[in-house]
Structure 1
Amino acid sequence: MTIDEVVLLLKASQVNGLTTLQEMILRSSWEGKTYTSIAFEAHYGGERVRKVAAHLWQLLSDFWREPINKSNFRETLSSRRLGKTHQQLIKEFNCAATAISLEFPNGLVSLNSRFYIPRPPVEELAYTEIATPGSIICIQAPQKMGKSSLILRVIAQATNQGFRTVSLDFQQGDKAVFSSLDKFLRWLCANVSRELQLEPKLNDYWDEDMGSKVSCTLYFQKYLLCAAESPVVLILNEIDWVFAYPEIAGEFLSLIRSWYEHSQMLEVWQKLRLVLVYSQEILSPLKLTKSPFNIGLLIKLPNFTKEQVEDLAQRHGLNWTDSQNTRRLMAMVGGHPYLIRLALYHLVGRGGLERNLQELLEQAATTEGIYHEYLRQYVLLLQGEPELATAFYEVITAINDVKLAPVTAYKLHSMGLINLEGDRCTPLCELYRLYFRRQLHSLENFTAPNKLGSLH
C-alpha cells in the first residue's frame, strides 16, 4: 500500500475520519520524520503530538489486528495490497466525498481541491527553481492544459518560503499600453509597484536620454528590489500576448534576458525570480543570445498518463484501475486534462458508470455531446481566421501528418487544436478529428460566415 491508500482507508473506515494533525503524523512518520520535527512543522507541542500518535498506533493495531508503531509502520503496510473489501470501502468513501465536493472543471484548480493531479517532476522542478537566486522559469502549454493551476501552486510555495509574489496578466493591458515600448515598460513598473504596495515613482528614475529599457532596469534595481526585504517572484502571464507587437516583444524579451545576466554579477538582482507563462513559441525574429526562453528552466506541461487518468477517476469515485474505461476515454480525447475532467464530471454527475461512458463517447463528437459548447468556440474563432481555418481543415482531413508553415502551426498549437512534433501536425485527438469533420463538412464551412453561422 501507499501512504495515500493508508490515509484513505482510515478516513473511510473511521466514523469521525482523520484530523489534520492525525494525517500529518501518519504521512510524516511514513517519511521517517521524528516527533520533534513533526511538532515543529505542525506548530503543536511535542507532548500533544506524541499523545495523538499513540492513539493512532493503537487504532492501526486494532484495525489490522497486529502490533503497529512508529518504527514498523511503513515496513508493515507498504508490502501489503488492498483487499477487495478495503477497495470497496475506499470506493464508497470517494463516491460520498465526490458527491459533496464535485467541481465543474472551469478555470484553475484550487489549492484545496481533491481534483488536482500532480505531473511529476513538474511541480518539484518549479518549486526548486523558484528558490534559486536570479532564476527564470518558462512555462509553455496550449490553453486548458493547467498552466494557471500550476502557477497557483508556485505562488503558494513562494509565499510559504516568505517570498513576495507579483502576478501580471498582459491581456489586461489596454491597447494604448502596447503603442510604444516606453508606455509598455512604464505600465509594467507601475503595476509591479502597486502589487508590492509601493508608491510608483517612475519619474524619479525615468530618463528620456537613457532610454526606457535602462530606465526600467534602474527602477527595478534601485527602487523595487532594494525596497524588498525578501525575494520577489514576478509572474508574467500570457506573455505571448506581447508577440503581436514584434517591436515591443523583441526589446522586452532581450531586457528580461539582460536582467538574468545581471543576476550573475549583482546581488540585488538575485532577489528577482521570473516566471514567464505562455501558450505559443515566440514568432517574432529574435537571436538566441537575446532570448530568455533558452535560459533557466523550461516546463512544457504534458498530457495525463493512463495512471494519472485512473487516479483522477478514483478521486471522482470511479474504480477504473486496469480498466477498459480509461483506454476507451483516452482513445477519444487523449490525455488532455480538461477533456478528461469534463468527461469524469459528467459521468459522476449523471450517476452512472460504464453505460453512461458508452453513451458519452457515442455522442462526444456530436452537437448533443458534452464537448459541443467548448468546441463550438473554436468554430467561431476559425470563422474569423480563414488562413488558419484552411490549414486546420487540411490537418483534420489528412490521413497522415501534415507539414504547415511554422507561424500557422504554432498558432493552431497554441489554440490547442493540433499536436505539433517538429514541423509535423496532427489533430489534437480523435474527438477533434470527428467533431470538426462532422460540423464543418467542407472547407466552405470554415470560410463562409452564412454557413458557419447556421451550425448549432
Structure 2
Amino acid sequence: MKPRLWQEFLEQIAVSYELDGKPREVFLARFAFENWRKNDREICELIETSLEVYKKHMTKVYEKLGGISGCPELDPRNQGPGKFGKLLEWLRHTKHPEWLINSQATASTDTNLFNYEAPVPLNSCFYIERPPIESDCYQAITQPGALIRIKAARQMGKTSLLDRILAYAGKQGYRRVRLNLLQVEEAKFSDLDKFLRWFCTYISDKLQSSHQLNDYWNEDRGSMTSCTRYFEVLLKQEDNPLVLGLDGIDRVFQHPEVTQDFFYLLRSWHEEANNLEIWEQLRLVVVHCTEDYGRLDINQSPFNVGLPVELEEFTQAQVEELVQKHRLDWYGNQAQQLMAMVGGHPCLVQSALFHLAAHPEVTVEKFLQTASTDAGIYGRHLRPLLVTLRDQPDLAAAFKQVITANEPVQLGVIQGYKLHSMGLIKWQDNQVIPRCELYKLYFRERLET
C-alpha cells in the first residue's frame, strides 16, 4: 500500500536536504512508490539518462541523505550495493512517520510541505499544460538555430516549461545544458571577460568537454570572439544539436558592464544559423520576468527574435482539472470561490489545493478566511514581497495607488514593469490592476503603516 502523502513527503525531503537540479529529479523518480520495484536501468529509461550519469546523481543523493543528519546506516563512501534499500527503509519507517506526525501537529505546518519556489517535477501529475504553448515549443526547438523566449511574472511556471522543453529535446537525442543565472555568484558579473570565461567553463563542464578554454581564449581577439570560437568547438564536438536553457536571465540586466555585449552575443549566434551550418546546431531557450531592458538596444538582443511565449494564469477549466488531480470532492462553486481570491495564479492555486487535499476537514470558506493573513498558508509567499516593497518606497507607493483604486491605474513604465515582474499586477492595455484579491487585501492593510 502506498504510504499516505508519499510524493509530498519526498518533495519535502528534497528541500530539507538541499537536493536540487538533476539529483533532485533522480531522487524523486527513484523513490517514487511506483518505482520501488524497478531496477536502475528501468529508472534510467524513465528519466531519459544514461546509467553512468544516473549513478553519479544517486551518489550525490546518498551523500546528502547519509551521515550524521541523515540515514545512520548509510555510508556514502561504501561503493557496494544495498544503499537504495537502506535509504528506502529509513525513509519509510523513520522519516515518513515523523513527517506525518509533525504535519498534523498544527494547521500551519503544511506551509513548509509545499515548496512554492520549486518547478513542478517532470514526473508529476500536477503539471497543467497550456495549449498550444507546449506543442509550439516542442516544434520550435527542433528547428535549426531555434530561439524560444519564455516571459512571465514570478512563479507562473516558466522553469517548469523550460524543464519540459529540455526533456523533449533529450528525447530527440539533443545535448542539453540548463543554466540558472540566479545561482551565479556576484563576482562573476564584474566584467565581461570574467563572465564569458565562467559561462564557457560552465557549459564545457556540463558537456564534459576535454577542450581546454585557455587554448582558445586570446586577449588580442577579445572576449566575445574568443567565446564564439570556443562555442564553435563545443558545437562541433558531436553531431547532435545543443540546447542551452538560460533561466533567470533578468539577473544580467543588473550588470550593465555585461548586459549589452552578452545579449548581443546571443543574438549574433542565433542569426549566424542563417549563414553557417554549425550554428544551426545551437538552440536557445531564454527565460525572463521583466520587459524593463534598461539601456539595452533591443535590436541587438535576443528579445525581439525567435518564438515569444508568454505564460498566462490558469483558466477555470484548468483549475478544475487540478481539483480533480488532487481528488477533492468539489461539486459546487468552490473553484470559483478560490479563483475569486487568487485568480488563476498557478503557484497560489496549487498550494491552496495541496493544503485542502491534506486537510479534508478544512472547507474552502474556512480556508479563504485566513488566506490574506500572516497565519494563512500564503504568509511565506507574501512576506518577502512586502519586504521588497518596503525596501523601495516609490514602488510601494505606486502599488498602494493600484490596490486602493476602484478602477485601472496608469503607472510609470519602470514601476509598471517592476510590479509586473514581481507578479503583483496585471496589464489592461496601458493601465494596471492588482493581480488578485489576495494581494489587494494583504497589502492594502500593511502598506498603510
2:411 is aligned to 404
C-alpha contact 2:153 2:423 (8 A) present in aligned 1: yes
1:238 to 248, 270, 285: 248
Structure 2 unaligned residues grouped into runs of 5+: 1-33, 36-112
Q: Which has the larger radius of gyration?
A: 1
| TM-score after normalising by structure 2 | 0.72
2:366 is aligned to 359
2:338 is aligned to 329
1:116 is aligned to 127
Indicate the larger mover: 361-370 or 387-396.
Answer: 361-370
Are 1:395 and 2:402 matched, yes or no?
Answer: yes
1:291 to 283, 301, 315: 301
**Amino acid aligned to 2:363:** N
CA deviation profile, 1:357-384 (whole Å, cap 9, x unmatched)? 0111122112332212221121122222
C-alpha contact 2:242 2:282 (8 A) present in aligned 1: yes
2:423 to 393, 396, 416: 416
**Amino acid aligned to 1:199:** S
Q: How does 1:191-202 map to 2 (within 5 A)?
A: 191-199=202-210, 201-202=212-213
d(CA) in 1 for partners of 2:259, 2:428:
25
| TM-score after normalising by structure 1 | 0.71
d(CA) in 2 for partners of 1:272, 1:328:
46
Structure 1 unaligned residues grouped into runs of 5+: 1-18, 21-102, 446-456
**Amino acid aligned to 1:131:** T
CA deviation profile, 1:200-246 (whole Å, cap 9, x unmatched)? 5222222222221111111111x111112211000111111000112
Match of 1:402, SS? coil
d(CA) in 1 for partners of 2:313, 2:211:
42
Runs of 4+ in 1 over 4 A off after TM superposition: none
d(CA) in 1 for partners of 2:189, 2:375:
42
1:268 to 278, 298, 301: 278
1:248 to 243, 258, 270: 258
2:316 is aligned to 306
CA deviation profile, 1:141-183 (whole Å, cap 9, x unmatched)? 1111111211121121111111110011112222221111111
**Aligned-pair CA distance for 1:114:** 1.4
d(CA) in 2 for partners of 1:199, 1:394:
56
d(CA) in 1 for partners of 2:268, 2:326:
47
Residues 402 and 206 of structure 1, relative CA distance in 2, 3 Å threshold? same
CA deviation profile, 1:274-293 (whole Å, cap 9, x unmatched)? 01011112422233431211
Match of 1:117, SS? coil
**Amino acid aligned to 2:222:** G
2:141 to 130, 152, 160: 130
Are 1:160 and 2:167 matched, yes or no?
Answer: no
CA deviation profile, 1:304-341 (whole Å, cap 9, x unmatched)? 001000000011112447x4111111111110011111
1:350 to 347, 359, 367: 359
2:375 is aligned to 368
d(CA) in 2 for partners of 1:118, 1:383:
35
Match of 1:403, SS? coil
**Amino acid aligned to 2:337:** R
CA deviation profile, 1:13-45 (whole Å, cap 9, x unmatched)? xxxxxx99xxxxxxxxxxxxxxxxxxxxxxxxx
RMSD: 2.2
d(CA) in 2 for partners of 1:317, 1:411:
37
Q: How does 1:53-92 map to 2 (within 5 A)?
A: none
C-alpha contact 1:366 1:438 (8 A) present in aligned 2: no
Are 1:189 and 2:200 matched, yes or no?
Answer: yes
1:34 is aligned to none
C-alpha contact 1:232 1:271 (8 A) present in aligned 2: yes
Indicate the larger mover: 264-273 or 203-212.
Answer: 203-212
d(CA) in 1 for partners of 2:119, 2:434:
25
Give the number of equivalent residue pairs: 341
d(CA) in 1 for partners of 2:341, 2:374:
16
The percent of aligned pairs where both chains have the same amino acid is 47
C-alpha contact 1:190 1:200 (8 A) present in aligned 2: no
**Amino acid aligned to 1:271:** Q
C-alpha contact 1:249 1:284 (8 A) present in aligned 2: no
d(CA) in 2 for partners of 1:408, 1:207:
42
2:348 is aligned to 339
Residues 183 and 421 of structure 1, relative CA distance in 2, 3 Å threshold? farther
Match of 1:416, SS? coil
d(CA) in 1 for partners of 2:124, 2:240:
29
Are 1:149 and 2:182 matched, yes or no?
Answer: no
**Aligned-pair CA distance for 1:259:** 0.5
Indicate the larger mover: 202-211 or 118-127.
Answer: 202-211
